[in-house]
């Protein structure tokens, strides 16, 4: 994912993630911002993937994105791997 994951991008993100049979790893290296609407997209995807017994792994999350996940409590829902460095 890259750029902004906000209300304006949610529909496109949902269509992409639903088209992927079993996304397990999502690279957030290029993600600059995620809104509550974007968090909802990721949560919906997590629930769908968890139904098959596996969860999402979010990798290369920068500090800002990790903070957003932490404040929302999503750090307890997703496996989040920080960006190197």
**Do residues 12 and 37 lie in contact, with contact meaning Cβ atoms separated by under 8 Å?**
no
As for how many domains the chain has, the answer is 1
**pLDDT tens column, 32-49:** 999 999 999 999 999 988
Structural domain span for residue 76: 2-82
pLDDT of 1: 86
Q: What is the CATH number of the domain that holds 76?
A: 3.30.750.24
- DSSP per residue over 19-76, as a string? HSSS--EEE-TEEEEE-HHHHHHHHHHHHHHHTTT---EEEEE-HHHHHHHHHHTGGG
Select the more confidently predicted residue: 1 or 72. Answer: 72
């Amino acid at each position: 994912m890259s750029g902004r994951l906000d209300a304006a991008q949610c529909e496109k993100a949902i269509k992409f993630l639903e088209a992927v049979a079993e996304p397990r790893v999502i690279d957030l290296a290029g993600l600059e911002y995620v809104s509550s609407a974007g968090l909802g997209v990721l949560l919906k995807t997590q629930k769908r993937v968890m139904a098959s017994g596996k969860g999402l792994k979010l990798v290369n999350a920068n500090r800002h994105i990790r903070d957003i996940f932490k404040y929302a409590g999503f750090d307890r829902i997703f496996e989040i791997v920080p960006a190197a460095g």
